Structure 1
Amino acid sequence: MARKVLTGIPVSSGIAIGKALFMNRRLYGRIPRQSIAQHFVEGEKSRLKQAMDQAVEELDLVRGQVPNEFKEHGLIIDSHITILRDPKLRNLAFGYIEDMRINAEWALLKAVKEMEKRFAVIQDDYIRQRIQDVRLVADRVQSKLMGLSHEMQEIEGRIILMAHDLAPSDTAGLEVDKIMAFTTAEGGKTSHTGILARSLQIPSIVGVKDLEDTVEDGEFVIIDALKGRILVEPEEDELAEYIALQDQFDGYQKAIVRNCHLPAETIDGYRVQVQANIELFEEVAAVLDHGAEGVGLYRTEYSYMNREILPSEDELFEEYRDLASILSPAKVVFRTLDLGADKFISGFGAIDERNPALGLRSIRLCLQHRDLFRSQIRAILRASLAGNTAMMYPMISGLRELREANRVLAEAKAQLRDEGIPFNEELPVGIMVELPSAVMTAELLAKEVDFFSIGTNDLIQYSLGIDRTNKHVSYLYQPLHPAILRSIKHVVDAAHQSGIEVSLCGEVASDPFCVPILMGMQIDSLSMNPQAIPGIKRIIRQTTMDECKELLRRVLECRTVTKINKLVMDSIFQRFPEELAFYSSLLDNEDFV
Structure 2
Amino acid sequence: MSRVILQGIPVSAGISVGKAFFMNRRSFANVPRHTVPESLISAEQARLDRAFQLVNDELTQARDRLPVELADHASIIDSHVMISRDRKLLARSREIVHDMAITAEWALEKAVREVERKFEVIEDPYLRERIADVRLVAQRIIKKLLGQHTGTEVEAGVSNRVVLMAHDLSPADTIGLDISKIMSLATTEGGKTSHTGILARSLQIPALVGVTDLETYVNDGDLVIIDGLKGKLIVNPEEAELEFYSDLKYQFENYHKSIMQECHLPGETIDGYRINVFANVELFDELSSVNENGAEGVGLYRTEYTFLSRNELPTEEELTDEYMQMAQILGKRKVVFRSLDLGADKLARVFGTLQEPNPALGLRAIRFSMRHRDLFRRQLKAVLRASVKGNVALMFPMISGLNEIHEAKAVLREAQRELEAEGREYDPDMPVGIMVELPSTVFIADALAHEVDFFSVGTNDLIQYSLGIDRLNRHVSYLYQPLHPAVIRSIKYVVDAGHHAGIEVSVCGELASDPYCVPILLGMGVDTISITPQAIPGIKRIIRQTTMEDCKKLLKDVQEHFQVSAINHTVRESIFRQFPEELTFYASILDNEELPA
- Alignment match of 2:366 (pick from 345, 363, 368): 363
CA 1:84–1:231: 2 relative to 1, 3 Å? farther
2:188 aligns with 185
Aligned 1:346-425 pairs, distance under 5 A: 346-348=349-351, 351-425=354-428
Q: Can you list the C-alpha shifts for 1:472-492, whole angstroms capped at 9, x where unaligned?
A: 111111110000000000001
Please say if residues 300 and 530 of structure 2, whose CA atoms lie closer than 8 Å, have aligned partners that are also in contact: yes
Please say if residues 76 and 168 of structure 1, whose CA atoms lie closer than 8 Å, have aligned partners that are also in contact: no
TM-score (norm 1): 0.92
Matched, 1:568 2:571: yes
Matched, 1:9 2:9: yes
Matched, 1:59 2:54: no
CA 1:2–1:383: 2 relative to 1, 3 Å? farther
* Deviation (angstroms), 1:39: 4.9
Q: Find the aligned partners of 1:27 and 1:221 in 2 and give their Cα distance.
A: 23
* Deviation (angstroms), 1:335: 1.1
Matched, 1:254 2:257: yes
* Deviation (angstroms), 1:325: 1.6
* Deviation (angstroms), 1:7: 0.6
Q: Find the aligned partners of 1:114 and 1:377 in 2 and give their Cα distance.
A: 34
* Deviation (angstroms), 1:44: 4.1
2:289 aligns with 286
Structure 1 residue identity aligned to 2:414: E
1:206 aligns with 209
2:493 aligns with 490
Structure 2 gaps, min length 5: none
Structure 2 residue identity aligned to 1:26: R
Please say if residues 197 and 203 of structure 1, whose CA atoms lie closer than 8 Å, have aligned partners that are also in contact: yes
- Alignment match of 2:449 (pick from 429, 441, 446): 446
SS at match of 2:300: strand
Q: Find the aligned partners of 1:297 and 1:41 in 2 and give their Cα distance.
A: 50
Q: Find the aligned partners of 1:345 and 1:275 in 2 and give their Cα distance.
A: 33
Aligned 1:19-98 pairs, distance under 5 A: 19-26=19-26, 28-33=28-33, 39-65=39-65, 69-83=72-86, 86-95=89-98, 98=101
Q: Find the aligned partners of 1:356 and 1:159 in 2 and give their Cα distance.
A: 43
1:243 aligns with 246
SS at match of 2:550: helix
1:544 aligns with 547
Structure 1 residue identity aligned to 2:164: L
* Deviation (angstroms), 1:573: 1.9
Matched, 1:461 2:464: yes
* Deviation (angstroms), 1:55: 2.6
Once structures 1 and 2 are overlaid, which stretch shifts more, 9-18 or 24-33?
Answer: 24-33
* Deviation (angstroms), 1:56: 3.0
CA 1:549–1:467: 2 relative to 1, 3 Å? same
* Deviation (angstroms), 1:129: 4.9
SS at match of 2:150: coil
- Alignment match of 1:309 (pick from 298, 312, 321): 312
2:154 aligns with 153
Matched, 1:578 2:554: no
Q: Find the aligned partners of 1:122 and 1:393 in 2 and give their Cα distance.
A: 21
Q: Find the aligned partners of 1:278 and 1:128 in 2 and give their Cα distance.
A: 18
Structure 2 residue identity aligned to 1:325: Q
Structure 1 gaps, min length 5: none
2:231 aligns with 228
CA 1:483–1:26: 2 relative to 1, 3 Å? same
Q: Find the aligned partners of 2:409 and 2:520 in 1 and give their Cα distance.
A: 33
1:555 aligns with 558
SS at match of 1:566: helix
1:430 aligns with 433
TM-score (norm 2): 0.92
Q: Find the aligned partners of 1:149 and 1:31 in 2 and give their Cα distance.
A: 15
Aligned 1:93-112 pairs, distance under 5 A: 93-95=96-98, 98=101, 102-112=102-112
Q: Find the aligned partners of 1:127 and 1:115 in 2 and give their Cα distance.
A: 13
* Deviation (angstroms), 1:576: 1.7
- Alignment match of 1:175 (pick from 152, 172, 178): 178
Number of residue-to-residue matches in the alignment: 586
Q: Find the aligned partners of 1:120 and 1:188 in 2 and give their Cα distance.
A: 14
* Deviation (angstroms), 1:34: 5.1
SS at match of 2:168: coil
Please say if residues 124 and 343 of structure 1, whose CA atoms lie closer than 8 Å, have aligned partners that are also in contact: no
RMSD between aligned residues: 2.5
Q: Find the aligned partners of 1:401 and 1:132 in 2 and give their Cα distance.
A: 35
Please say if residues 188 and 213 of structure 2, whose CA atoms lie closer than 8 Å, have aligned partners that are also in contact: yes
Please say if residues 80 and 137 of structure 2, whose CA atoms lie closer than 8 Å, have aligned partners that are also in contact: no
Once structures 1 and 2 are overlaid, which stretch shifts more, 300-309 or 355-364?
Answer: 300-309
CA 1:80–1:268: 2 relative to 1, 3 Å? same
- Alignment match of 2:327 (pick from 303, 324, 327): 324
Q: Find the aligned partners of 2:166 and 2:390 in 1 and give their Cα distance.
A: 41
* Deviation (angstroms), 1:28: 4.0
Please say if residues 522 and 551 of structure 2, whose CA atoms lie closer than 8 Å, have aligned partners that are also in contact: yes
Q: Can you list the C-alpha shifts for 1:268-301, whole angstroms capped at 9, x where unaligned?
A: 1111111111111111111111111111111111
* Deviation (angstroms), 1:229: 0.5
SS at match of 1:392: strand
* Deviation (angstroms), 1:363: 0.7
Once structures 1 and 2 are overlaid, which stretch shifts more, 33-42 or 173-182?
Answer: 33-42
Structure 1 residue identity aligned to 2:388: L
* Deviation (angstroms), 1:193: 1.1
* Deviation (angstroms), 1:545: 0.8
2:137 aligns with 137
SS at match of 2:16: strand
Q: Can you list the C-alpha shifts for 1:483-533, whole angstroms capped at 9, x where unaligned?
A: 000000000101111111111011111000001111111111111011111
Q: Find the aligned partners of 2:117 and 2:305 in 1 and give their Cα distance.
A: 26
Matched, 1:268 2:275: no
Structure 2 residue identity aligned to 1:571: S
